[in-house]
């Protein structure tokens, strides 16, 4: 039986073995009838489509930050959680293309390793290209590509071992990045920023990839598995978010932000111009809501290396203990940051809570994909080409918003139109061509890398 690549859209994946016999190119009616049928799992396509459309909303919609105590903000559930859903689904994809319930054999291992290396490298390069557009969006594809490569050592692990490793890393990852960032005085360089201290720290997000790989080793076509996944997701998410709310209320979130993610008043600032710090030679911009940014004017004033993250000048030859104190992060702040359940915090409770939320979404999609096949069909089409759809939305953001300058306003109306355009384009492409263009490119890179293995 041919295996299909769930991450790259309809069509067979080149696997070791005899080449398939030539078949006639399917027509529109055939594509429509066979869309999402086994061996594809349509519920996963629906979940991928929701993840992509959620990230579009986080970037282009006027969606408030989520505060569980305020129902009017519940639309903000797409913030952070859409990207985490994307990462968990990436892990499921790795498991599916490397054997599904059957663990990769020793003979298959070299080819699978090289395919993942080719796929990860090509996705990473696409991410670099999107970042060069300078849209100020937190593009996930570079981390996404690295996760495919980081998954290589775990290809022969079974579901139970993968789940245990994911749970351990969900705790150890935030602790590692939190302590390193604190005691090494928030080091900044391209390598450590990408791997440890960026928006998507690799040790933290690898936990999500491993959890997804564990899910992909299960029989995702079985209703029982979908129900257990949904219930397990609820059992993870509810306690994690509950404890996270308590941590935020007692310790703060570790970043000086309130529940909705914004500084509530100027009094919340630890340093303010003209009071605690001599900021002569700097230009300060007051953005309202208590947020003030200060920077050197025309190269004058203090250089970046002379300031801590909190804006406090660092004199030369200051002892390490003093610099650690000037960093302005207390033990409670550090603990809150490590434990945080906030969006993009990389905290322990965010990984468990949002990872559980991702399991709930995937479980629901698996259960509803068959009875609601035609209703969910358009979203599933987006999910067959997630890389293409994600890239298209970044380019559309550049065109609509004019890059960092914001020539045209974005908001919920724009979010709706862009989402509609992506869905219509994905349906048309899936029914007439099949696999998305970037998915074809990544598949070609994976095949080329594994040739001769």
What pLDDT was estimated at residue 22? 54
CA distance 98 to 225: 20
Domain span holding position 360: 28-261+333-450
CA distance 129 to 169: 30
CA 329 vs CA 259, 334, 448: distances in Å: 19, 7, 49
CA distance 379 to 37: 15
Q: Can you name the residues that pair with 277 across neighbouring β-strands?
A: 273
- Identify whether residues 300 and 153 lie together within a single domain: no
- Identify whether residues 186 and 250 lie together within a single domain: yes
- Identify whether residues 243 and 352 lie together within a single domain: yes
Dihedral angle of Cα 286, 288, 291, 297, to the nearest 10 degrees: -10
Flag whether 8 is in a domain. Answer: no
Residue 188: CB atoms within 10 A of its CB come to: 12
- Identify whether residues 308 and 204 lie together within a single domain: no
- Identify whether residues 173 and 303 lie together within a single domain: no
Q: What's the angle, vertex CA 306, arms to CA 305 and CA 311, rounded to 5?
A: 105
- Identify whether residues 366 and 438 lie together within a single domain: yes
CA distance 438 to 130: 13
CA distance 93 to 115: 13
Residues with Cβ < 8 Å from 412, sequence gap 6 or more?
A: 61, 62, 63
- Identify whether residues 322 and 338 lie together within a single domain: no
Low-confidence stretches of the chain (pLDDT beneath 50): 1-4, 6-17, 256-275, 287-291, 298-304, 310, 312
- Identify whether residues 298 and 342 lie together within a single domain: no
Dihedral angle of Cα 108, 109, 112, 113, to the nearest 10 degrees: -160
Query: SS3 of 433, please?
Result: coil
Q: Can you name the residues that pair with 307 across neighbouring β-strands?
A: 313
Query: SS3 of 134, please?
Result: coil
Retrieve residue 328's tokens: 């302005």
pTM of the model: 0.80
Buried/exposed 91-126: b ≥16 CB within 10 Å, e otherwise: bbbbbbbbbbeebbeeebeebbbbbbbbbbbbbbbb
- Identify whether residues 350 and 257 lie together within a single domain: yes
Please give the span between the terminal C-alpha atoms of the chain, in angstroms, as a whole number: 21
- Identify whether residues 146 and 50 lie together within a single domain: yes
Of 368, 353, 357, the closest CA to residue 54 belongs to 357
CA distance 38 to 48: 17
- Identify whether residues 419 and 353 lie together within a single domain: yes
Flag whether 141 is in a domain. Answer: yes
Flag whether 2 is in a domain. Answer: no
Read off the DSSP letter of residue 74. Answer: G
Flag whether 22 is in a domain. Answer: no
Per the document, the length of the chain is 453
Q: What is the pLDDT of residues 192-243, one digit of tens each?
A: 888 888 888 998 899 999 999 999 999 999 999 999 999 999 999 999 999 9
Among 312, 327, 342, give the residue marking a domain's end. 327
Retrieve residue 168's tokens: 């351990």
- Identify whether residues 255 and 279 lie together within a single domain: no
CA 448 vs CA 153, 210, 237: distances in Å: 21, 26, 41
Flag whether 1 is in a domain. Answer: no
Q: Can you name the residues that pair with 292 across neighbouring β-strands?
A: 286
On the 0-12 / 13-18 / 19+ scale of CB atoms within 10 A, 430 is buried
What pLDDT was estimated at residue 292? 60
Flag whether 3 is in a domain. Answer: no
Retrieve residue 294's tokens: 């200060």
Domain count, the chain: 2
Q: How far is CA 38 from the centre of its chain?
A: 27
Alpha helices in 184-292 (DSSP H): 190-192, 202-216, 223-251
On the 0-12 / 13-18 / 19+ scale of CB atoms within 10 A, 327 is buried
Query: SS3 of 294, please?
Result: strand
Flag whether 19 is in a domain. Answer: no
Read off the DSSP letter of residue 297. Answer: S
CA distance 301 to 290: 23
Flag whether 10 is in a domain. Answer: no
Give the CA radius of gyration of the chain: 23
């Amino acid at each position: 039986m041919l295996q299909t690549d769930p991450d790259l859209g309809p069509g067979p994946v080149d696997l070791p073995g005899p080449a398939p016999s030539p078949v006639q190119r399917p027509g529109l009616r055939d594509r429509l009838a066979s869309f999402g049928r086994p061996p594809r799992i349509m519920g996963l396509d629906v979940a991928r489509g929701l993840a992509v459309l959620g990230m579009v909303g986080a970037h282009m919609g006027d969606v408030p930050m989520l505060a569980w105590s305020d129902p009017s903000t519940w639309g903000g559930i797409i913030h952070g959680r859409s990207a985490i859903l994307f990462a968990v689904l990436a892990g499921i994809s790795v498991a599916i293309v490397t054997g599904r319930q059957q663990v990769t054999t020793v003979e298959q291992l070299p080819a699978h390793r090289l395919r993942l290396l080719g796929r990860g490298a090509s996705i990473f390069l696409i991410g670099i290209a999107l970042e060069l557009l300078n849209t100020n969006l937190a593009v996930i594809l570079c981390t996404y590509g690295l996760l495919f490569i980081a998954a290589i050592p775990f290809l022969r692990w079974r579901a139970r071992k993968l789940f245990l490793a994911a749970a351990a890393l969900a705790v150890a990852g935030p602790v590692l990045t939190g302590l390193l960032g604190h005691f090494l005085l928030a080091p900044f360089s391209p390598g450590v920023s990408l791997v440890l201290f960026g928006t998507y720290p690799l040790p933290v997000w690898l936990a999500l990839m491993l959890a997804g790989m564990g899910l992909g080793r299960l029989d995702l076509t079985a209703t029982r598995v979908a129900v257990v996944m949904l219930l397990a997701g609820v059992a993870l998410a509810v306690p994690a978010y509950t404890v996270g709310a308590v941590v935020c209320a007692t310790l703060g979130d570790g970043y000086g932000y309130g529940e909705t993610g914004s500084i509530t008043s100027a009094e919340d600032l630890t340093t303010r111009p003209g009071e605690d710090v001599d900021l002569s030679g700097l230009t300060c911009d007051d953005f309202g809501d208590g947020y003030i940014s200060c920077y050197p004017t025309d190269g004058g004033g203090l250089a970046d290396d002379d300031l801590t993250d909190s804006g406090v000048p660092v004199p030369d030859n200051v002892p390490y203990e003093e610099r650690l104190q000037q960093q302005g992060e207390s033990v409670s702040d550090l603990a809150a940051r490590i434990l945080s359940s906030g969006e993009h915090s990389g905290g322990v409770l965010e990984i468990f809570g949002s990872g559980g939320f991702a399991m709930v979404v995937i479980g629901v999609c698996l259960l509803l994909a068959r009875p609601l096949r035609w209703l969910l069909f358009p979203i599933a089409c987006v999910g067959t080409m997630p890389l293409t759809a994600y890239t298209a939305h970044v380019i559309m953001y550049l065109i609509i918003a004019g890059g960092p300058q914001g020539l045209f306003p974005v908001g919920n109306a724009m979010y709706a139109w862009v989402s509609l355009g992506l869905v219509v384009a994905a349906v048309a492409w899936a029914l007439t061509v099949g696999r998305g263009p970037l998915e074809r490119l990544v598949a070609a890179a994976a095949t080329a890398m594994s040739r001769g293995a």
